[in-house]
Amino acid sequence: MKPELQLDPREARVLGVLIEKELSTPDQYPLTLNAATNGSNQKNNRDPVLELTETEVDAALRKMIVKGLVGSVHPVGSRVEKFRHNAEAILAVDKPKLAVLAELLLRGVQQPGELRGRASRMSPIESLGALAAILGPLMESGLVVRLDPAPGSRAERYGHTLSGHVSAAPRSAQPVLAPPPEPPPPVAQDPIVAERALTTEKRIEKLEFDVSRLHRQLGNLAWKLGEKLEG
């Protein structure tokens, strides 16, 4: 996988959502920022379940626009900006392969039976043999890797490489971290100082959001002109 296309966990989740919604609910696609955020935080068909803010999803979309994986559009008669993916062209895959990649982006490493059943809601995969025919080219292109079976299981597993190295350890085998220590009791603060700090924090958050939106719009303009926005 090209380094410039590597995705962080938030980008991977958002890209998976865009692909999923295009294939499973095309009448609701492209997605608004709010819809992309809701899709990223769904309780079903997601592992792990996340709680991303609109600002975090917006930042993920902006970074993927620069990479060419996402574009934004303004439908005729609508003032709301919407987002669509460009993964099919950038990654050179067809719809069945795209569905398998989306499922791996949304739920991580999976066994063939799990992967076939879940990806079939986006694109029909009639059998494990049909799934193998999809996975073969994906592995040849380096987008997917095969992993050894988990302890106590005979089934191999598969994971995507869009986020770099794929861990072979199942989630249940990951170390359990000790709970963090209790925070110290809050220090009493002058109410006027506290109010000013809160106001400043809100202003900074709004400025960051506005800058992010402006950068995304510039990235989309560069994409339409066939250029790549630097930085």
Within-domain flag for 199: no
Within-domain flag for 185: no
Q: Which residues contact 36 (CB under 8 A, 6 or more apart)?
A: 14, 17, 18, 57, 61, 83
Tokens of 229: 């926005």
Task: Give the start-end residues of each E strand in the chain.
Answer: 31-32, 70-73, 82-85, 144-147, 157-160
| pLDDT, one tens digit for every residue, the chain (231 residues) | 566 889 999 999 999 999 999 999 999 999 999 999 999 999 999 999 999 999 999 999 999 999 999 999 987 777 899 999 999 999 999 999 999 999 999 999 999 999 999 999 999 999 999 999 999 999 999 999 999 999 999 999 999 999 998 865 544 444 433 444 555 555 655 667 666 766 776 677 667 666 666 656 665 665 556 565 555
Within-domain flag for 211: no
Q: Are 69 and 59 in contact (CB under 8 A)?
A: no
Could you tell me the CATH number of the domain that includes residue 130? 1.10.10.10
- What integer pLDDT is reported at residue 171 of this predicted model? 46
Q: Report which DSSP code applies to 103.
A: H
- What integer pLDDT is reported at residue 78 of this predicted model? 76
Within-domain flag for 194: no
Identify the three-state secondary structure at position 134: helix
Number of structural domains (the chain) is 1
- How deeply is 34 buried, as exposed, middle or buried, from its count of CB atoms within 10 A (0-12, 13-18, 19+)? exposed
